[in-house]
Amino acid sequence: MTKDQMMQIVLDPPRGAAGVSVGMAVPDAEQVLAALADYVGPGRSKGSRGFAHYASGMSIQAHDDGAGRVEAVEIYRPDDPTVQVLYQGISIFGEAAPVIEERLARHLRLDTIDDGLTVVAPEAFLAFGKSVSVYGDEVRSGFFESVVVAEPGYYGNL
């Protein structure tokens, strides 16, 4: 991918994201993630499976259900603005979290938990994690830092 090309990852709940399907074997998910543009390497430190890092600063994790299958796909915010993560045309990391929440709330029921740090759209099988800068970094604070696409029932215990 060249600098002027836009990379788009489309969230497709509850099926998956970034080519990784919920229910897929984790080793297969790792192969899919390694084939995406600008792949830097796996995140297998401390035995972490299903993790991939990219030159854009984005990371993607295929969460293991304990039986070797993907139960959720989590995408961490890229540093590079040419990488977009989209849900129904909304760029999840493109604007401040309150703006994204307002757009999502037009179509989805949103539940806010964890003292406002997590926003869950249970019927859409999505969860969004907000950033909090303990260092006063206003550039990153107030944006979503991650989004999770999961299988039905995944958010039942939140």
Q: Looking at the 3D structure of the chain, how many domains does it have? A: 1
Any domain includes 155 = no
Any domain includes 29 = yes
Q: Tell me the C-alpha distance between 30 and 64, whole Å.
A: 11
pLDDT score recorded for residue 46: 52
pLDDT score recorded for residue 78: 95
pLDDT score recorded for residue 68: 95
Any domain includes 156 = no
Tell me the backbone φ, ψ of residue 85, rounded to 5 degrees.
-115, 115
Any domain includes 93 = yes
Domain span at residue 24 reads 7-150
pLDDT score recorded for residue 82: 93
Q: Tell me the C-alpha distance between 102 and 123, whole Å.
A: 17
Alpha carbon dihedral 117, 62, 57, 100, in 10-degree steps, equals -40
The number of beta carbons lying within 10 Å of the beta carbon of residue 12 is 16
pLDDT score recorded for residue 42: 83
Consecutive 10-residue runs of the chain (158 residues): their mean pLDDT?
74 96 96 95 70 95 94 95 95 94 94 88 91 55 90 72
Is 45 buried (19+), middle (13-18) or exposed (0-12) by CB count in 10 A?
Answer: exposed
CA angle 57, 125, 111 (to 5 degrees): 95
Any domain includes 91 = yes
pLDDT score recorded for residue 139: 47
Any domain includes 44 = yes
Instruction: Count CA atoms within 13 Å of residue 3 on its CB side.
Output: 0
